Amino acid sequence: MTRHASKVSSRFLCSILVVLLGNSANGQEIKVATVAPDGSGWMREMRTGANTIHERTNGRVTIKFYPGGVMGSDSQVLRKIRVGQLQGGAFTSGGIGERYAGLNLYGIPLLFHSHDEVDYVRARLDADLEAGLREAGFTSFGFVEGGFAQFMANEPISSVDDMRRRKVWSPEGDPIGFRALEVMGLSPVALPPTDVLTGLQTGLLDVVAASPVVALVLQWHTKVKYVTDLPIAYSLGVFAIDNRVFDSLLRADQALVRNVMSGVMSRLDAQTRIDNREAETVLWNSGLELVPVRSEQVSGWRNTIEGLYPELGNRRDIDADILDKILALLEEYRAGAGASLL
């Protein structure tokens, strides 16, 4: 057997093994990991969708969730999917970026100025990102807004100087965010979200960035006192299933899973923006203080990040075509076309 034939045969056997590992006696069991805590709104919606699928396929398709980060970080979950221990995951967009680099671009710091810009770009680009993720080996069903992250710390942060000599969190697997913090003269600490609470408790981290919902659900708000009044980076949640497993379902079951889970993701996407507004109220009621940022500081930060765009476009771990599309859409929106096309 030639070396090429041996490689092809090995890949074929691996694919068969992944599918077989996903099968239970009653049909196809799809094991999905997520950092979302059990009992959260996200988990309730996802389990409702899974129950609907189980009932309407007469038990042929079962989706089993492992919540609360028990399966580890996004990178660990991806490794477990690769060997068939898991069949899917709910990831941050940056967390699955190692498999498809287009998804981490929405999270470029200070890229978006408002939710209106987000809505304009996503309406025109989300389908391309889903197609790119499919080519990278995963079937997704739409994306869920995570919201705008804001800096949170035990000391007020209103400028870059306020973060110097402080340990600033950078999500593991987010090369863009890490590089942006470096360019700003900071020393980022890369950790998965599952380790952030411990990092705040032990002093490994001084500054984190999170949306109100994330800070509340993961209890990070209990370890900080101040929230900076500036949307730093936009985040997405991605629920994805290994193509090899999804494609092994009956065609009718594929259509059902896609229909049900697309509806779930759409509802979660719309609900998150409401949840973030409500979570903000909870944060203020818990005693956290909002720190204003001067406009000249914001302009300086944006100019620094925008100076990174040429470098990002040349990186191998960045989808330069998607970056160009995002920047073109933002330019189009800011030129006035967006207001009439939304």
Instruction: Go through the chain and tell me how many residues it has.
Output: 342
Answer for the pair 145, 267: CB distance below 8 angstroms, yes or no. Answer: no
| pLDDT at residue 6 is higher than 60 | no
Confidence category of residue 11, pLDDT binned at 50, 70, 90: very low
Q: In the chain, where are the structural domains located?
A: 3-341
* Tens of pLDDT, residues 50-102: 999 999 999 999 999 999 999 998 989 999 999 999 999 999 888 888 899 89
Indicate the pTM of the whole model. 0.85
One-letter amino acid of 185: G
Placement of tokens 């899974």 in the chain: 50
The full 3-state SS of the chain, as one line of letters, equals CCHHHHHHHHHHHHHHHHHHHCEECCEEEEEEEECCCCCCHHHHHHHHHHHHHHHHCCCCEEEEEECCCCCCCHHHHHHHHHCCCCCEEEEECCCCCCCCHHHHHHHCCCCCCCHHHHHHHHHHHHHHHHHHHHHCCEEEEEEEEEEEEEEEECCCCCCHHHHCCCCEEEECCCHHHHHHHHHCCCCEEEECHHHHHHHHHHCCCCEEEECHHHHHHCCHHHHCCEEECCCCEEEEEEEEEEHHHHCCCCHHHHHHHHHHHHHHHHHHHHHHHHHHHHHHHHHHHCCCEEECCCHHHHHHHHHHHHCCHHHHHCCCCCCHHHHHHHHHHHHHHHCCHHHHHC
Question: What pLDDT does 237 receive?
Answer: 92
* Tens of pLDDT, residues 124-162: 999 999 999 999 999 999 999 999 999 999 999 998 889
* Tens of pLDDT, residues 284-326: 999 999 999 988 888 888 888 898 899 888 888 788 999 999 9
CATH number for the domain running over 3-341: 3.40.190.170
* Tens of pLDDT, residues 229-256: 999 999 999 999 999 999 999 999 999 9
Q: What distance in Å separates the CA atoms of residue 256 and residue 253, rounded to the nearest whole number?
A: 5
Please state, as a whole number, how many other Cβ atoms lie within 10 Å of the Cβ of residue 17: 13
